[in-house]
Amino acid sequence: MFKEFKKSIEWGGETLTLETGKIARQADACVIATLGETSVLCAVVFEKKPKVGFDFFPLTVHYQEKYYAAGKIPGGFFKREARPTEKETLTSRLIDRPIRPLFVPGFKHETQVICTVLSHDLENDPDVVAMIAASAALTLSGAPFRGPIGCARVGFVDGEYTLNPSCDDMHKLRENPEQKLDLVVAGTKDAVMMVESEAYELSEAEMLGAVKFGHDAMQPVIDMIIDLAEDAAKDMFDFVPADYSELYGKVEAAGEEAMRAAFANTDKQERTAAVSAARDTIKAALSEEDQEDSQLGNCFKKLESAVVRGDVIKTGKRIDGRDLTTVRPIVSEVGILPRTHGSSLFTRGETQGLVVTTLGTGDDEQMIDALTGTYRSNFLLHYNFPPYSVGEAGRMMGPGRREVGHGKLAWRALQAVLPAATDFPYTVRVVSEITESNGSSSMASVCGGSLSMMDAGVPLKSAVAGVAMGLILEGEDYAVLTDILGDEDHLGDMDFKVAGTESGITSLQMDIKVAGITADIMEKALDQAKDGRMHILAEMNKALTGAGDFSIHAPRIETMNVPADKIREVIGSGGKVIREIVEVSGAKVDINDDGVIKIASANGESIEKAMAMINEIVAVPEVGKIYTGKVVKLMDFGAFVNFFGKRDGLVHVSQLSNERVNHPKDILTEGQEVKVKLMGFDDRGKVRLSMKVVDQETGEEIKNEG
């Protein structure tokens, strides 16, 4: 009934298996990839007729995690998987980026790639497994895909690269001083196609070495996919790219001069208007039949690309007049919003980000319900891209894949310089509002985020800046561009984003739109990016050279430690005691299982009051020490004195005075303040106090001269 095919190799200390032929047989191809005990199913379907009128490739990638894969039931009210999580969205983008450029140009057939995590061993991250499954399924499907690709995750410990470090190692990246890198690289047999990473101030050479290490490590995977395809691949789909060379010749003849003049405008809005006018001029010069040709949009794109790319290669000048290495003018400002905890406005050319930092307490941490378990995050970065930022009117919706991806890239760049939670016990939320955009708003978010957090008083280890690099590749000739514009990104061959401090790289993201680039080009791009990053850091330092003053509107947080056996006393039965502390002091109080207590309030007196109340509960009186107390009860045999928080002790009638006392009421009254010395504890643990050994006027101990 089934015609199954299966291949296995040993890879990175685990068995990697690819299977096809048994499940989802109505899809064009379905592959189950298994690494260790992590399994991902990938099904591929492509329509056999093109989408008419589309000037882009309609590819969608959906990565989805099923909680049953880890033996879990989803949290929440509905108890089923709902909207994509951040991890699912980011992994969908991760898979899309290296496979999209490898489809034959001109292929406009709607294509869908669905990856489903079926089993998760909590050791091997399913994102790499899903990418391998997607590559194999596309290779088997018969779609015009010029793969396969392989991928690998790379770590960096004690100067050595490691292949496919565990999920636990990566989740604890910030807490593990030995692990310096989480990098995912994908590529074909000959070239790298995509890099995504977060790092801890690694050098350019170390990052390039990681990319090379990952590319070498993925070669057995590519070979295995080819081996599987030789047995199980479908016949290649009969696809012939449309030939619109004749139409393009007419478009070029009618409008090359007008298009070149349009791109001579250095202002983005003027250039956009001029390009649109040039298109109208070209269209008017064509016949009615040519105007209706579905390939006209592709001809316009090809002409624009030829003009921009050709001029850069020939003259070394870009459409805004810059040379290849110059960064656009930068203006950095901080403290521009009066009531926020920290704010900055970072402007680089026609790209601008208004970035705001808010400081919160432990209650504000984000709880993340993942396959690997539930954990908390005390650093949040959210990126917003409203349509007015590019001069358009558009629908306002929730964050899409682009917003999530750009926000995560900025998060990765900044998290490496955050202080330890024990040193700075705040939840930090950074929001980047992109108010203008013409190239690399994600890197503007990095720069603005660094400035904003420093303005809020967050003691960052160092300022962080980011720069986007581009590439124009024409045959053997190429040009690496620093600080690319939107048009250069759209018409170029590479989007290469590098963020870091003066000491090293904290994040690297690379997307290649051609069949791949050489190591020499990558090395040149990294070196050129370092120069750009240093320039941007110098400009940022003009606005803020260190952490700003702590906002009076931000909560103050103090930490204290109590013995583990005292936690129950601080909380009280049903939380009664800790609620009383919060109500009386007005401060937020949070205590964890290790006895670490965080006390937060914008009012310093509230914090002091809460700390005093907690100390009264957990502190232990010292034998031999003199305390000031109040008489709370008089008995025939002595007086009970409240001397230490809520702790009372007995002053026996014989310890009241050096003179004979018949009854305590002869010399004391309830509520009277007295000085007592803690003499010790009796066999039953009762406190023994003495007044007669203390001078009640001075509070000094009376020495027995005998």
Q: Are residues 390 and 535 in the same domain?
A: yes
Note the pLDDT of residue 29: 96
Amino acid symbol at 700: E
Q: Are residues 96 and 144 in the same domain?
A: yes
pLDDT tens digits for range 610-629: 888 888 787 777 788 888 88
698 within domain boundaries: no
- Overall domain count for the chain: 5
What average pLDDT does the chain have?
88
Report whether 34 contacts 17 (CB < 8 A).
yes
Whole-angstrom distance, CA of residue 5 vs CA of residue 414: 45
CATH code at position 597? 3.30.1370.10
Whole-angstrom distance, CA of residue 506 vs CA of residue 415: 8
Whole-angstrom distance, CA of residue 29 vs CA of residue 235: 12
699 within domain boundaries: no
347 within domain boundaries: yes
Q: Hunting for tokens 């502190």 — which residue is that?
A: 619
418 within domain boundaries: yes
Q: Are residues 219 and 289 in the same domain?
A: no
The count of other CB atoms within 10 Å of the CB of residue 646 is 8
283 within domain boundaries: yes
> What are the residue ranges of helices labelled H in 143-200?
167-171
Contacts 24+ apart (CB under 8 A), 470-476: 470/494, 470/495, 470/496, 471/496, 471/517, 471/521, 471/525, 472/309, 472/312, 472/313, 473/514, 473/517, 473/521, 474/309, 474/310, 474/313
pLDDT tens digits for range 665-691: 888 888 898 898 888 887 776 888 888
Single out the residue in 263, 280, 315 at which a domain terminates. 315
Does residue 603 register a pLDDT over 50?
A: yes
The count of other CB atoms within 10 Å of the CB of residue 444 is 31
pLDDT tens digits for range 190-245: 889 999 999 999 999 999 999 999 999 999 999 999 999 999 999 999 888 878 88
Q: Are residues 97 and 213 in the same domain?
A: yes
For the chain, percent helix, then strand, then coil, each to nearest 5? 35, 30, 35
Report whether 641 contacts 649 (CB < 8 A).
yes
Q: Are residues 51 and 153 in the same domain?
A: yes
612 within domain boundaries: yes
Nearest-CA neighbor of 442 among 477, 483, 493? 483
pLDDT tens digits for range 54-91: 778 899 999 999 999 999 988 778 888 888 999 999 99
Whole-angstrom distance, CA of residue 101 vs CA of residue 265: 30
State whether the Cα torsion 393-395-399-401 is positive or negative. negative
The count of other CB atoms within 10 Å of the CB of residue 400 is 10
Q: Are residues 153 and 228 in the same domain?
A: yes
Whole-angstrom distance, CA of residue 686 vs CA of residue 649: 7
Q: Are residues 124 and 29 in the same domain?
A: yes
Q: Are residues 404 and 530 in the same domain?
A: yes
Least confident of 152-166, 184-198, 630-644: 630-644
Does residue 356 register a pLDDT over 90?
A: yes
Does residue 405 register a pLDDT over 80?
A: yes
Q: Are residues 19 and 133 in the same domain?
A: yes
Single out the residue in 510, 541, 572 at which a domain terminates. 541
181 within domain boundaries: no
Q: Are residues 449 and 356 in the same domain?
A: yes
CATH code at position 676? 2.40.50.140
Q: Are residues 301 and 343 in the same domain?
A: no
Q: Look up the domain containing 564 and give its range.
A: 556-618
Q: Are residues 408 and 535 in the same domain?
A: yes
Single out the residue in 315, 345, 364 at which a domain terminates. 315
CATH code at position 44? 3.30.230.70
